[in-house]
Structure 1
């Protein structure tokens, strides 16, 4: 007798349940280096940050609050920011999402979108100020505002992709 499909009550692969979220964030953080693009200002949105925030918002119980530290350090290796910038800011974002999850009992799509867009704007602004502490504020913000707007507009797409990855992660066999 051959086995045609998953058996009733069979759990999903434990390896896939643990690896898919972390691998998606790590791959997204490294992706800008793989693209043949030369720019003198930030052109791509922070892909790793978007996936990180979407995973945190969709599955807040999945990761511990400190997960922003190792994933942020990985992102720092590829982003060109001072080492520890993303690690600290992503950890603070993780704490903020955890805090908001405890305070807001019901969150909808637009709440998650607003939270992610707000956190992207704050993290990108602080990272730019950390990377260029002596640059004029107007010039720094003028360079990153388009990146923040594009990132905020891409949040629904990344939420959808994260949901697809989550379905794959939870699929049996």
Structure 2
């Protein structure tokens, strides 16, 4: 017996093309948010594109193909101003790491997803700092605050992705 109760059984789902494009659009929109001109003394804006990508990967693993991290990382590089190819490499490495973790774990819950996502965000932000910024700069305090803000926002982005996934008509 299923735990899912459909309160709107006759509601029309999105067409298949739009339903497949929606995860791509949300990740690109998340990457575009970081291009929004915000005046700040400390760069604390989390990488929303990466948070959306990881949330889609962890909550709806079949929504994005395995190779989707590369073109979405390229779009993020174009929006964020990072060196071209850095997000392509780092996001693809995160997808590979998540695949390896999924092979070992039979079941995952919210806390494990949060830990996996937090590790991936931390890895991407630290590696991106070493790729983009000279080693002698002192951005470590701001980077730690950005990592903390990003990890704390992971459940919120997961909630948004779960809501969007439910609205796009996907049935598990």
1:102 Cα deviation after fit: 1.6
- Contact 2:23–2:56 (CA<8 Å) still a contact in 1? yes
Q: Which has the larger radius of gyration?
A: 1
2:113 corresponding residue in structure 1: 112
2:164 corresponding residue in structure 1: 165
Between the aligned partners of 1:26 and 1:45, the Cα distance in structure 2 is 14
1:95 corresponding residue in structure 2: 96
1:65 Cα deviation after fit: 1.8
Greater percentage in helix = 1
Change (3 A) 1:171 1:121: closer
1:124 Cα deviation after fit: 0.2
Between the aligned partners of 2:156 and 2:13, the Cα distance in structure 1 is 28
1:15 corresponding residue in structure 2: 17
Q: TM-score, normalised by structure 2?
A: 0.87
If asked which structure has higher relative contact order (CA below 8 Å, sep 6+), I would say 1
Q: TM-score, normalised by structure 1?
A: 0.86
2:150 corresponding residue in structure 1: 151
Extract structure 1 runs of 4+ deviating beyond 6 A: none
Between the aligned partners of 1:107 and 1:51, the Cα distance in structure 2 is 19
Could you tell me which runs of 5 or more consecutive residues in structure 1 were left unpaired when the two chains were aligned: none
Q: For 1:16-165, what aligned pairs fall within 5 Å after superposition?
A: 16-34=18-36, 36-39=37-40, 41-136=42-137, 139-165=138-164
Between the aligned partners of 1:158 and 1:11, the Cα distance in structure 2 is 22
